[in-house]
């Protein structure tokens, strides 16, 4: 990224992290990604205020482990970002902005087989239950993001593991569930929504 692009991006993304719950203790503001909060002399992140832009947080350094969507708002404790996840973790050790989020122009295609094979299902809206909207399976073996950024959830009603799908990552192509994230152990996705910007 050249200096002009960095300057333009600076105002679009801003997040403050706190070492203790309810915005207490040591804090630091970020406008760019952080690969390891431990390098900033933090032991952990226990609360977050997102002022601008959507972000994705990760359980471990180097953008590894469980993913958590962080949209504009306050997250006073880890339950606020892990929310309805079936796997709760108090750790968030790395995070980055989601630059391609565009709620008004988002489109994604699901495929019934890996490598974009078989029946497909295009979406431009949020779906709290893919099966209720016509998808005949609890699984989504491959995904192509045509535009924008999306968050997929393991269970209906936006619950369970979260998987972030972006147009500007992997060229928007996720050929199998192992490309959904380092924590992906299954291709089960039953609800999906556009990421707010």
Q: What CATH number is given to the structural domain containing 124?
A: 2.60.20.10
Structure tokens at 142: 């491959």
Note whether residue 177 is domain-resident: yes
85 and 147 share a domain?
no
Q: Is the pLDDT of residue 184 over 90?
A: no
Q: Are residues 11 and 92 in the same domain?
A: yes
89 band by pLDDT with thresholds 50, 70 and 90: confident
In this structure, are 165 and 184 located in the same domain? yes
Closest CA to 143 of 97, 98, 181: 181
Q: What is the mean pLDDT of residues 47-57?
A: 96
Instruction: Say if residue 119 is in the same domain as residue 93.
Output: no
Total domain count for the chain? Answer: 2
pLDDT band (50, 70, 90) for residue 88: low
Q: And the tokens for 129?
A: 């239950």
Per-residue confidence at 9, pLDDT binned at 50, 70, 90? low
Per-chain mean pLDDT for the chain: 90
Average pLDDT over residues 126-137: 92
User: In 126-142, which positions are buried (b, 16+ CB within 10 angstroms) versus exposed (e)?
Assistant: ebeebeeeebebebbbb
Do 43 and 112 reside in the same domain of the chain? no
Q: Which domain holds residue 69?
A: 3-97
Give the Cα separation of 146 and 109 in Å (integer): 7
């Amino acid at each position: 990224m050249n200096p002009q692009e960095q300057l333009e991006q600076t105002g679009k993304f801003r997040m403050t992290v706190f070492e203790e719950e309810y915005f207490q203790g040591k804090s630091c503001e970020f406008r760019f990604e952080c690969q390891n909060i431990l390098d900033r002399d933090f032991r952990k992140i226990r609360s977050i205020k997102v002022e601008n832009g959507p972000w994705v947080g990760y359980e471990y350094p180097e953008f590894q482990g469980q993913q958590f969507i962080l949209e504009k708002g306050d997250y006073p404790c880890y339950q606020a970002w892990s929310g309805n996840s079936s796997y709760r973790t108090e750790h968030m050790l790395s995070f980055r902005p989601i630059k391609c989020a565009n709620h008004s122009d988002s489109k994604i295609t699901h495929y019934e087989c890996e490598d974009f094979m078989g029946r497909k299902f295009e979406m431009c809206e949020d779906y709290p239950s893919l099966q209720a909207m016509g998808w005949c399976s609890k699984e989504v073996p491959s995904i192509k993001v045509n535009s924008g950024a999306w968050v997929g959830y393991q269970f209906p009603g936006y619950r369970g593991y979260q998987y972030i799908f972006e147009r500007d990552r992997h060229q928007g192509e996720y050929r199998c569930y192992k490309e959904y994230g380092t924590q992906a152990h299954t291709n089960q996705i039953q609800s999906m929504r556009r990421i707010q910007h």
